[in-house]
Structure 1
Amino acid sequence: MPSGGYLWWYIDALSDDGQHGLSIIAFVGSVFSPYYAWARRRGNHTNPDNFCALNVALYSRQARRWSMTERGAAHNHRDRTRFVIGPSQLHWNGQSLCIEIDEVGVPLPRRIRGTVNLHPQQLFHFSTPLDAAGRHRWGPLAPRSRVEVDLRHPAQRWHGHAYLDSNEGDEPIERAFTEWDWSRSAMKDGSTAVIYDVEPGRANGRLLALRFGRHGSVVPFEAPPRCELPRTAWRLARRMGSEGPVQVVQQLEDTPFYQRAMLCSRLMGEPVTSFHETLHVPRLVSPVVQAMLPWRMPRRG
């Protein structure tokens, strides 16, 4: 990976009974890292492997947890099948992805410990540029998966459906983007519909609307009109393509520069429940936000 670049793997999941949810993001060259940004500004060595983190967020009425401890290169290791980040790791065994979590939450130091096993029902080798120069790319790896969650802290055991994708870039994210909205929706036929709205409403924007089929097909579809959603508590603007009204079912994350929510809307004639997120890059790189981030993203090593 080039200096200043990044790579991440993203997972979201919802239990079959709808009572539990999670998101996990494994970062190399964390785009949210203030330490990585400060090192780039100073012209210091900016090997992405020196800025790795495992972000874990748990969503349930009984227990909400959030952790994102960044670790230096001495505490990380990557090869073809394994990514070790401090005491946690991800391991691909050829059939499924096993995530062994051993993290401490912030701002309250509560333990998150246990395993998450993701079983893809179809693997994809699809990747597409998000910018005109092709320096930033995205692709789903397993948009339709099953998940087994077995946590000791907090005590949770559940099964559900999940999604796995990846983003990578050859330069810092702020060089190419201002904002984007992204959503993924599970369709009745078992396919997954993704809308990636990059630079929404701008001349240099790119709108991806792709349906990933159960047996490996990738089919574009016409994205429905953008619907403006209520601004978040941090006054972050957000949009969702929908054929009808959009309901915010649950606000999962709400920060000055990023939000994640569960939405109900209509897509391709169906009612759908979607994971939706918005990233606003100028807020992320603002000096005020960068000074706040270490409280939520401590660094070790």
Structure 2
Amino acid sequence: MTFIAFVGSVFSPYYAWAGGPNADRADPENHCALNLALYGDAGKRWTMTERGRRWMRRSRDEFVIGPSRLHWDGESLLVEFDEIGVPIPRRVKGRVRVWPKALCRFVTSLDSGGRHRWGPIAPCSRIEVELDSPRVRWSGHAYLDSNEGDEPIDRPFHEWDWSRATMADGSTAVIYDVRQKRDGDRVIAERFLLDGSTESFEAPPRQPLPTTLWRIGRTMRTEPGVPAVVEQTLEDTPFYARSMVRSGLLGEVVTSVHETMLLPRVITLPVRLMLPWRMPRRG
């Protein structure tokens, strides 16, 4: 399961069209969404209804988007949602609680200009999931982070591969492998420990992965002698792929959540005309 709360949905065609030639001037609070993606035996579900400002309310401890909300109570993050999936209209209703083992203050720039930033909030966490529709429950490891930017995401980046793995000791290792349009590659490799501290490490070499059905070329960094293997492709879209990949990292064989983003495709007219099928809007 993944969930992403957007203030200014970076992939939204409505957000891009609202600003016209001056995309930076569009109001991000008029383009909010809660993206939920479920995978497993209960069946795949996807929701990402964008809502305008009148559906949104936020404060230091709470973010409300229509019938869904995120609430921080000082010890855990509660996410309550009641959404309709697309393109098949099936209800996705329930609640999730994320319990951080520690909070992390690490923040770094993804681009050379410092206009796009990433920071894990609770990279080592426990999650409790209780869904009414579909009716399933489970608990396990969780990861919580934050991204923010001062300009459209397609301006500085060409593509990136991102991966997150839970290590044997419960720590979390993340690799951001970023290819910029002008300033070369940036590789960020950090291990987040259970007490909230961080350790940088040298990312192993890149290995190509099989291309997706939409012809996105993926790569994974893995230690020599441990081939990277795609165990499952969860999302396959014209500009984005989410997969489960087995590889070698820091002396262990791990299974990572892996994402590839191909930014030039996001802004093409065919993709923006297709996106409303996955991202409907209520103004």
* Structure 2: 5+ residue stretches without partners: none
Q: 1:252: how far off?
A: 0.8
- The partner residue of 2:165 within 162, 168, 185 is 185
Counterpart for residue 13 of structure 2: 34
1:151-203 deviations in Å (ceiling 9; x for gaps): 00000111111100000001111111111110011111221110001107985
- The partner residue of 2:91 within 102, 105, 111 is 111
- The partner residue of 2:213 within 209, 219, 233 is 233
Which amino acid in the other structure matches residue 289 of structure 1?
A: V
* In structure 2, C-alpha distance between the alignment counterparts of 1:262 and 1:256, rounded to whole Å: 18
The answer to whether the Cα contact below 8 Å between 2:42 and 2:134 also exists between their aligned partners in 1 is: no
Counterpart for residue 243 of structure 2: 261
Which amino acid in the other structure matches residue 268 of structure 1?
A: L
1:20-71 deviations in Å (ceiling 9; x for gaps): xx00010010111000011122558611000000000000122210010000
Equivalences for residues 33-182 of structure 1 within 5 A: 33-41=12-20, 43=22, 46-182=26-162
- Give SS of 2:39's match: strand
TM-score (structure 2 length as normaliser): 0.96
TM-score (structure 1 length as normaliser): 0.91
* In structure 2, C-alpha distance between the alignment counterparts of 1:105 and 1:150, rounded to whole Å: 17
* In structure 2, C-alpha distance between the alignment counterparts of 1:57 and 1:190, rounded to whole Å: 24
* In structure 2, C-alpha distance between the alignment counterparts of 1:204 and 1:275, rounded to whole Å: 25
Moved over 4 A (4+): 42-45, 200-203
* In structure 2, C-alpha distance between the alignment counterparts of 1:51 and 1:216, rounded to whole Å: 32
Q: 1:219: how far off?
A: 0.9
What percentage of aligned pairs have identical amino acids?
60
* Structure 1: 5+ residue stretches without partners: 1-21
- The partner residue of 2:263 within 281, 286, 291 is 281
Counterpart for residue 188 of structure 2: 208
Q: 1:216: how far off?
A: 2.1
- Give SS of 1:35's match: helix
Q: Does 1:23 align with 2:5?
A: no
